[in-house]
């Protein structure tokens, strides 16, 4: 049995988050769920998460929020600009995020990766 304190960050109505929560429940892995819509991550939190998985892996570029940004906002990206965008538009944060304590260990839900981790 896994013993570290686990937190799952995401948006409750996101299909990928729902899949991750269902998978965790099937594995009897208890997590605290934290909804981005209710508990907006700070710039410091986002910066810390980037240190674990890289800002490129934390920034979600596949959704309508990304496509609706002005071209100037999407160009010349670096960590500082990406963190500012994710802070301003929480839908740009890849989800779900699984943290062990305060350490981000998984971003997004790919079942094989999660199985290998646990």
Residues annotated as catalytic (active site), given as ranges: 14
Going by the DSSP 8-state scheme, the letter that residue 110 receives in this structure is -
CB neighbour burial string for 36-53, b if at least 16 within 10 angstroms, e if fewer: beeeebeeebbbebbebb
DSSP per-residue codes, 57-77? HHB--SSHHHHHS-HHHHSS-
């Amino acid at each position: 049995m896994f013993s570290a304190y686990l937190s799952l960050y995401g948006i409750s109505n996101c299909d990928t988050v729902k899949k991750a929560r269902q998978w965790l429940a099937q594995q009897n892995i208890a997590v605290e769920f934290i909804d981005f819509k209710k508990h907006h991550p700070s710039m410091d939190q986002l910066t810390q998460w980037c240190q674990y998985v890289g800002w490129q892996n934390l920034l979600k570029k596949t959704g309508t929020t990304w496509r609706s940004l002005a071209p100037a906002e999407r160009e010349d990206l670096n960590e500082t600009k990406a963190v500012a965008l994710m802070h301003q538009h929480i839908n740009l944060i890849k989800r779900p995020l699984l943290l062990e304590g305060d350490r981000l260990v998984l971003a997004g839900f790919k079942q094989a990766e999660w199985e290998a981790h646990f």
